[in-house]
Structure 1
Amino acid sequence: MEIKRLWHTLRLCLIRNGYKRAEYAKRKGIYNNIGENVMIQSRKVPLYSQLIRFHNNIQVASNVTFLTHDVTHNVIKKKIPNSKIPEKIGCIEIMDNVFIGSNSTILYNIRIGPNSLVAAGSVVTKDVPPNTVVGGNPARVLGTFNDYLQKRSLDVNSYPENLKPVNQRINSELAEFEWKKFDAVKSGK
């Protein structure tokens, strides 16, 4: 790993807040672009990070992998020593109002359209159309962003406002509330 990339990765590991992590990356020019209100939980600086562009209001959960290249050319060169097959690289662009769930992988030459959600654990191999929810391996369209919004607004199983997490911490009352709700659903009550 290049020293500068390693240094930035180490610095990102020490920054506990995803918004501050994105601000550090923006200030240091790690990515091609980082817009406003961007949160990046990932701490590893991807190879060829200048090929990644984040627009506005983006949430990137933990352990998301951005692959701006592949290394199959190395295998081919070992098999066919005189081959002239270059490393394949490409850009990744994340448009406005996007959430990317934990442990997802975004391949190169991908644009995630505005107002989209990528479910946790997804492998995005094709562009994500605007206003969609995708998930799976490979990621496929699961629904629309508007359907998701409507479903979330009708969610009556939310916790009371006075118990909401503060500074990424929950109190014992909220934990007890959630466990009671969980147990009731799982026991069929």
Structure 2
Amino acid sequence: MSYNEFTIENYLRKKGCLIGKGNRIYTKNFGSEPYLVKIGNHCTIAAGVLFITHDGGTWVFRNEIPNLNVFGKIEIKNNCFIGITSIILPNISIGPNSVVGAGSVVTKDVPPNTVVAGVPARVICSIEEYKEKCINKWEALSLRGLRDSWEEQLKEYFWGCEGDR
């Protein structure tokens, strides 16, 4: 069976994950308590993202306190992007209109309208600053035509060549 964002979303809903509308979810790594994860509308969760909803370190106390467990919810608000292989730890809220950079470890709440990245994740810039950077990069490319015609233009821009190398 091949997986896509729709089959993954259906699987996660069956596991109790609360998911809004218009999302793209490319990971099934929602830990052992997917029902503690809530995703708003219009979010992208890239491949390899991990949602950690409990503290596995309590294992070292099992002989002394057999049922000790620590849990925490994770909430991704509307219009967020979580980059590839990021890790979201328990008790985290990612504010609306935010971006988590690839490979980040989110240990603290992400304020609305921000871009965070790193280990641990820290604020890099505002979403407006990020938008300006993206617009400037896009305009520098000067791509013409539809997306399926961009390959040759991108090769020329980045490699200085046309066609296959």
Does 1:82 pair with 2:90?
Answer: no
8 A Cα contact 1:65 1:104, kept in partner = yes
Structure 2: distance between partners of 1:178 and 1:125: 37
In the other structure, the counterpart of 1:50 is: 35
| Aligned CA distance change for structure 1 residues 21 and 45 (closer, same or farther; 3 Å) | farther
8 A Cα contact 2:27 2:47, kept in partner = yes
Q: How many residues align?
A: 159
Q: TM-score, normalised by structure 1?
A: 0.75
In the other structure, the counterpart of 1:73 is: 58
Structure 2: distance between partners of 1:22 and 1:96: 19
Residue 152 (structure 2) aligned to one of 176, 180, 187:
176
Same amino acid, percent of matched pairs: 36
Structure 2: distance between partners of 1:84 and 1:43: 29
| Aligned CA distance change for structure 1 residues 58 and 72 (closer, same or farther; 3 Å) | same
- CA-to-aligned-CA distance 1:33-65 (integer Å, 9 cap, x gap): 111111101134421000000011101111000
In the other structure, the counterpart of 1:4 is: none
**1:14 CA drift (Å):** 2.5
The answer for unaligned runs of 5 or more in structure 1 is 1-12, 166-172, 185-189
Q: TM-score, normalised by structure 2?
A: 0.85
- CA-to-aligned-CA distance 1:52-93 (integer Å, 9 cap, x gap): 00011101111000001121111233xxx2235712111000
| Aligned CA distance change for structure 1 residues 31 and 151 (closer, same or farther; 3 Å) | farther
In the other structure, the counterpart of 2:163 is: none
The answer for unaligned runs of 5 or more in structure 2 is 161-165
Counting helix residues as a fraction of each chain, which structure ranks higher?
A: 1
Question: Residue type of the partner of 1:38?
Answer: N
8 A Cα contact 1:159 1:178, kept in partner = no
